[in-house]
Chains A and B, each alone.
Chain A
Amino acid sequence: MAAAGSAKVALRVAEVLETIVSCCVGPEGRQVLCTKPTGEVLISRDGGCLLEALHLEHPIARMMVACVSSHLRKTGDGAKTFIIFLCHLLRGLHAVTDKEQDSLISKNIQTHRRHWKNCCQWKFISQALLKFQTQVLDYIMGHYLSKHFLSIFSSSTKERTLCRSSLELLLEAYFCGRVGRNNQNFISQLMCDYFFKCMACESGYEEVFELVDDYFIELNVGVTGLPVSDSRIIAGLVLHRDFSVYCPADGDIRIVIVTETIQPPFSTSGSEFILNSEAQFRTSQFWIMERTKAIMKHLQSQNVKLLLSSVKQPDLVIYYAGLNGISVVECLSSEEVSLIQRVVGLSPFVLPHTSSQYEICNTALMNFCKPLILRSKRYVHLGLIGTCSFIPHCIVLCAPVQGLVEQHKSALHGAFKMLRQLFKDLDLNYMIQASDQNYASSPLTYKNSRESTPLPEIVNGSRQSPYQGTVVKNKGKLATTQTYLKVYSNFVVPSIELETHIPRSIQKVTPTDTYQADETLRYLSLAKTRIVDDSEPLMESNSANSTTENTRIEISDENLQVTEIAGRGSMLPVREKSLEMCTSHGYCFSSIPAGCVLPVGGNFEFLLHYYLLNYAKKCHQSEETMVSVIIANALLGIPKILYKSKKGNYSFPQIYVRTLHAIQTHPPMVSSQTGLESVASKYQLLTSVLQCLTKILTIDLVINIKRQPQEVYDQDSEEEV
């Protein structure tokens, strides 16, 4: 059985999913109850969770869900927006293809009519989409949108410090889409408190995110039957089990971790123990006992008060531990052990092999160790002293039902994932067509903000000498004889955008002129400008910050002159993008710097919509125009849903008109007290959706088979066998 896999089918599927998902979007979204076959009841507003729970049958729907989950694995956010955006894109495409005969859109379309009409029309569109995604989107992001970005870091200091109020706004916006309406503020406050309590120093936030994300399950305790408002943060680490033996201790408390039983086993695996007499048996048992006793004595002499064990210890060990005043916690999970090891920097205690020799064992100090009772269940509460930039704290999550605890847990975990993503740079690279008039003129329009500083870059050394010892690693495009190099720096400053373009005279590089560029030609050299001056001068303005990936450039030229521009980098927390352009196709490398945010409420969508429309107007190729317009309009779908229930001044058309006006008149928008959202995750979402759409459009037939599809074996692996 086969069915046509057209965009129409995909649209129908997407519309069904949209209706389900759209009820959970935004601050006004409602909850969905999912029951599992095991009888568990889950409460969720998480798009990914809902789509998984639906167990969809339709192949196209399954493909969409697969795309969504792969996107979620990467970013941990945006499943609902994904579906809505996809649906609107499909709708737009559908409308265009229906209308196409009327040729309302553009005259050029007429010439492409045969493309659109023939059987490969979807394929054609999908190619256009792919082209858009790889070329146009990054360009628009890096070029136009970037000046609207705000930063989560506070701009007052030189170093990147987290601004608490912006983090609060960011988290509030995140939780608006994740947890029930009555708990949004509470949970986001809890998360914010937790984060700042855990952070030992200002700069260690990346490590904290990483650690909390990795060990999230170990760092929280769920309690059911209590109101949500009883949730709290407690200092120290809570282990999800009780003491096997507890001896109250105070003062200097030391801990050890063991991963094997302390009592020596009668026989180890792989060996044979031959018993010849009853006396021998008794002696060996006596030896085992004495040895256990001796080890515990030794631990006591080291002032060890707590023994953490990843395995179950025999009664004998527990008994001697109790006699020596050592508390014991058994059966720790491997994650708990590795968390403790990471937090306090402690390696497991290796049992000495000969009875006489005891070396000083690995211990760590801690503040307290006591039982903690939550809802009549006993836990172990450890006051570990963190040695890294993470101060251990635990979140106690309370809710009337388990489903709600789970929801809050996954929302918190998602928030840490999101933050972890946010503090990474996201690279954009795009190619600029030489024909792009708009771009070529744009650098000139920007005001050079560094007018006051004399530009020390251009140093004319008239010496002419051949390049010697240069390693040539020509990357395809650079091999062209006529290479125009235009370099300009691009500064992104929190809240104000200074874009500085240093227009360079077009330089000629002789065919013999070779230089080595490592892969991408992104340079890292702090506040340095290298000017390579030759008869055909090649100039590179180069100043980067520490966050850009370090890529080497080796210019083995005697004439290389390096001019330090002191103070340039220190004036402002400058995040810089070096963009480079070649003759007809310039490769631009740019990035969305870490911590870039925009106010919520469809700001990103409005901005992108506006710039895409502008771009489309200047475009000459019909399909590019078409794709840009479709995407621009589909973007509006999200704010439309957000403002659906609002009336009067806050209705969608009003907001739309006002925002567009604001963009036109004064570009950098001033953020009011609204929430914030990460730009990088929005961008990633957009690319994921476009990729998914391309995938959908390239399918022309869905064939139903009775068997499982045969797995395609890897050719190489078979050869190896």
Chain B
Amino acid sequence: MSRLEAKKPSFCKSEPLTSGRVRATLCVLKGILTSSYGPSGRLKQLHNGLGGCVCTTSQSSALLANLSVTHPILKILTTSMQNHVSCFSDCGLFTAILCCNLIENVQRIGLMPTTVIKLNKHLLSLCTSYLQSEFCGCRILVDFSSTQTLLCLVRSIVTSKPACMLTRQEIDHISALILRAFLLTIPENTKDCLILGKSIIVPLKGQRVTDSTVLPGILLEISEVQLMKILPIKKSDTFKVALFCASLSGDVSDTGEGTVVVSSGVSLENAVLDQLLSLGRQLVSDHIDLLICQKVVHPSLKQFLSMHRMIAIDRVGAALMEPLSKVTGTQPIGSLGSISPSSYGSVKDLCTEKFGFKHFLHLIPNEATICSLLLCNRNDTAWDELKLTCQTALHVLQLTIKEPSVLLGGGCTETHLAAYIRHKICNEPESILQDDGCTQTELQLLTEAFCSALESVAGSLEHDGGEILTDMKYGHFWSAQPESPSVVDWPDLLSRCGCGLYTSQEELRWSFLKSTRHPFAPQTCLPHEAVGSANNLTLDCFTAKLSGLQVAVETANLILDLSYIIEDKN
């Protein structure tokens, strides 16, 4: 009998946000996140002091997954961000920093939570409707006739992950590979709905990054011993493949719930092996070239098959079964008995290849949306980071296909949006004031808190103590070298804005981001020619950023709304 223990009473705490400890921990978390943000972000080394691997990263997914937070409020914040990242892969740090900034700024102005939540919701809906509107000045429609925009998008993502330790050329190489891998997953002829294929990332550590490559089809890793057994593959037009999901190990399978009494001298194993060998004979007579099994293949059967010049690969694992069935164009076989000829698949070509120190069997499909991205990096931690980056980039490309627009990156969207909101609230506050019953002062205070939260996210991109500015025409983000003289000629010191769309040679006026300035209307409606001519833009995923913005505000609202915390200490 289990021991019964009286439950301890819970720990109840009112107005959690006012406590100094919570503020301090929030501040620490914010510090960790902001310092990792952007291409020049500082790397974090995560280890547990008891050995095990060390993780060097600046990505939100790796950071948040490994940080163990104890305070419930921080837990809410981090889980919210992790959930966002698992949905969109991108913009995790943006979301987290914005959320922290919002909480901090709102606390500073000390308004009633009721008013804050209502107004935040209004401001958020202003932001989302602006970003989705046609005249939005920081959104670019993706032109699928050229790869320019998509390549910029991928390059921005790879660049923003400094822990991958890539040089400029390597970034270009990897970005091109990612884009090519993505394009290979798009089916050539589709009817009404587009079903994307899959890029399988194959690890190859310890090689140069530039050795990475993309191949159509699937790479199956095989040991050298296996390779020796494979005789030179004869040339033919197609290769017939039998893909098994049933075990070919020769074990006596499930015998039901009752008892099975076996007379002495009767060996079930023999019976099953006989069955397997007869299956082998059938495969041979059906002219199968390659047998792939998810589970184990009995050695005798393997032996038998290789005698008949058939390649047998076993223990492929469940994860590869779906791509394999796509590549071979067949359903996995679950029977050991008579197999209908229709359940065999085929591949166009079959060859063995060697990359680095690893041997692979390469299945080249006739027409399939599966490709393998052979990813190389120098060491384990950098490879892990690179793999995460590739997955992020591939996911972002998928999201971009669904919603064909991108946002200007490099902090420009944030400052532009803040300028737009400021101007909008300053000029037409009636719409919000009408249905909410709050005062003009409250609205202005909160708008300032909201906008400066957005701007300081952009400001966190600068880590080297440089000046951060915004121009008074487009509302874009500019950063200058540190140690600039006090009175300067800005056009000479600045070269391009954060996203790279505008140069400092235009007639622009600048102002420090931190300073107060008169609200101005940032120029909306991006001119087409400007986008077309600029070839090296920094771009962000539209869907991820929009949802990140919403999630950040919603989470901040949620945290600000808390009046009690009840902690169950059992």
Contact = CB atoms under 8 A, between A and B. Distances in A.
B554 A227 contact: yes
Nearest to A36: B568
Given A35-B565, A41-B79, 4 more contacts: A180-B557, A226-B547, A319-B332, A400-B555
B562 interface: yes
Given A33-B565, A401-B80, A319 B570 contact: no
Contacts of A266: 254-256, 258, 260
Interface in B300-348: 331-335, 337-338, 340, 342-343
Contact of B557 (A182, A316, A322): A182
Interface residues of A, number: 69
B554 A31 contact: no
B334 A315 contact: yes
A323 B340 contact: yes
Interface string A318-358: 11101100000000000000000000000000000000000
A273 B566 contact: no
A43 B75 CA distance: 12
B259 interface: yes
A376 interface: yes
B566 A53 contact: yes
A160 to B, nearest CB: 34
A315 B246 contact: yes
A54 B566 CA distance: 7
B404 interface: no
Contact of A402 (B79, B85, B275, B331): B79
A181 B566 contact: no
25 contacts: A23-B14, A32-B562, A33-B565, A34-B568, A35-B72, A39-B75, A41-B76, A43-B562, A50-B566, A180-B117, A180-B561, A182-B118, A265-B255, A266-B254, A267-B258, A272-B258, A275-B263, A276-B266, A278-B266, A281-B266, A281-B271, A289-B337, A315-B245, A315-B334, A319-B333
A251 interface: no
A448 to B, nearest CB: 47
B370 to A, nearest CB: 17
B545 interface: no
B79 A401 contact: yes
Contacts of B557: 180, 182
Interface in A25-61: 28, 30-37, 39, 41, 43, 50, 53-57
Contacts of A225: 80, 82-88, 551
B83 A274 contact: no
Nearest to B550: A227
Interface string B99-130: 00000000000000110011011000000000
B256 A282 contact: no
Contact of B118 (A54, A181, A399): A181
Given A181-B114, A282-B274, A400-B84, A24 B257 contact: no
Given A54-B12, A400-B558, A23 B563 contact: yes
A399 B274 CA distance: 56
A277 B266 contact: yes
Most buried by A among B85, B259, B340: B259
B202 to A, nearest CB: 21
B72 A41 contact: yes
B117 A273 contact: no
Contact of B259 (A30, A267, A320): A267
Given A322-B331, A323-B342, A35 B551 contact: no
B10 A400 contact: no
B197 interface: no
Contacts, number: 219
Interface string B505-521: 00000000000000000
A32 B84 contact: no
Nearest to A269: B257
Contact of A182 (B8, B9, B82, B117): B117
B564 A33 contact: yes
**7 closest cross-chain pairs (CB), A and B:** A319-B334, A225-B83, A267-B258, A265-B256, A315-B334, A269-B257, A227-B550
Interface of B: 7-10, 12, 14, 16, 72-73, 75-76, 79-80, 82-88, 113-114, 117-118, 120-121, 245-246, 254-263, 266-268, 270-271, 274-275, 331-335, 337-338, 340, 342-343, 547, 550-551, 554-555, 557-558, 561-570
Contacts of B118: 181-182
B558 A268 contact: no
Given A34-B568, A36-B568, A319 B331 contact: yes
A226 B87 contact: yes
Nearest to B265: A277
A403 B77 CA distance: 12
A33 B275 contact: no
Most buried by B among A319, A376, A645: A319
B335 A35 contact: no
Contact of A319 (B7, B87, B275, B335): B335
A31 B9 CA distance: 20
A225 B555 CA distance: 10
Contacts of A271: 258-259
Contacts of A322: 331
A229 B550 contact: yes
Contact of B72 (A33, A320, A404): A33
A245 interface: yes
Contact of A55 (B9, B246, B334, B561): B9
Contacts of B114: 28, 181, 645
Given A268-B258, A274-B261, A375 B86 contact: yes
Contacts of B566: 32-35, 50, 53-54
Of A23, A226, A228, most B-chain CB atoms within 10 Å: A226
A282 B252 CA distance: 11
Contact of A273 (B260, B337, B550): B260
B564 A273 contact: no
Pick the most buried of B8, B10, B262, B343: most chain A CB atoms within 10 A of its CB.
B10
B10 A55 contact: yes
A547 to B, nearest CB: 40
A401 B563 contact: no
Interface string A244-265: 0100000000000000000001
A282 B259 contact: no
Given A32-B566, A226-B547, A268 B331 contact: no
A24 B563 contact: yes
Contacts of B16: 33
Contact of A400 (B8, B83, B565, B567): B83
Interface in A216-237: 224-230
B37 to A, nearest CB: 20
A408 to B, nearest CB: 12
A694 to B, nearest CB: 27
A323 B87 contact: no
B258 A269 contact: yes
Nearest to B563: A30
A613 interface: no
A24 B117 CA distance: 15
A285 interface: yes
A273 B261 contact: yes
B10 A32 contact: no
Contacts of B80: 225, 400-401
Contacts of B267: 278
A281 B262 CA distance: 10
Nearest to A288: B337
A401 B557 CA distance: 13
B466 to A, nearest CB: 33
